[in-house]
Amino acid sequence: MLLLRPQLFMKMKYLPIFILFVFFACKNTADKPTAASADSTETPELPAGFSDFYQKFHSDSVYQVEHIVWPLEGLPNNADSATVAAKTFRWMPEDWRMQHQFDFQVSEYKREIVPLTETIVMERIIHQSGQFGMIRRFAIIGGDWHLIYYAGVNRLIQ
């Protein structure tokens, strides 16, 4: 019996530490996003009104053209290094092609959408290979959302 008591004491001495460890370990994993949710194309909390704007922007060509700041800053598709370095390229209404919404469930692209502030949202659409992508920035101007920057599909720096 005397031999069991010191062993029992040693086990009980570490029991509260073990319970605290399990409690905090379980609590922390519940608060962290899973790898699947971090890699998904789901959008984080977006500013008020942005989701409705985004849907209408991609479904109504007149609305789209009216909600772009012309001349639109950005880059053309497959921009060369001189165009990138010059930073003078601008999209014009006569050269614009209607932007349609991607179906990220079936396409080879994924979306990263980041609210930078309550009035600015940045969107990156990247090919699954990670080699090509496009960037768009939207901002509230005069109370409405507008596209303020569009870099067409280009090779991404690795």
| SS3 letters across the chain | CCCHHHHHHHHHHHHHHHHHHHHHHHHHHHHCCCHHHHHCCCCCCCCCCHHHHHHHHHHCHHHHHHCEEEEEEEECCCCCHHHHHHCCCEECHHHCCCCCCCCCCCCCEEEEEEECCCCEEEEEEEECCCCEEEEEEEEEECCEEEEEEEEEEEECCC
pLDDT score of 79 more than 60: yes
Residue 102 confidence (pLDDT)? 82
pLDDT score of 156 more than 90: no
Could you tell me how many residues make up the chain?
Answer: 158
Q: Decide if domain 46-155 falls under CATH 3.40.50.300.
A: no
Sole residue written with tokens 């768009």: 136
pLDDT score of 32 more than 50: no
Provide the residue ranges of all domains of the chain, joining segments of one domain with +: 4-32, 46-155
Residue 157 pLDDT level (bands cut at 50, 70, 90): confident
State CA 156 to chain mean position distance. Answer: 16
pLDDT tens-digit map of 100-149: 988 888 889 999 999 999 999 999 999 999 999 999 999 999 999 999 99
The pTM of this model reads 0.70
Residue 43 pLDDT level (bands cut at 50, 70, 90): low
Nearest to 111 by CA among 119, 102, 121: 102
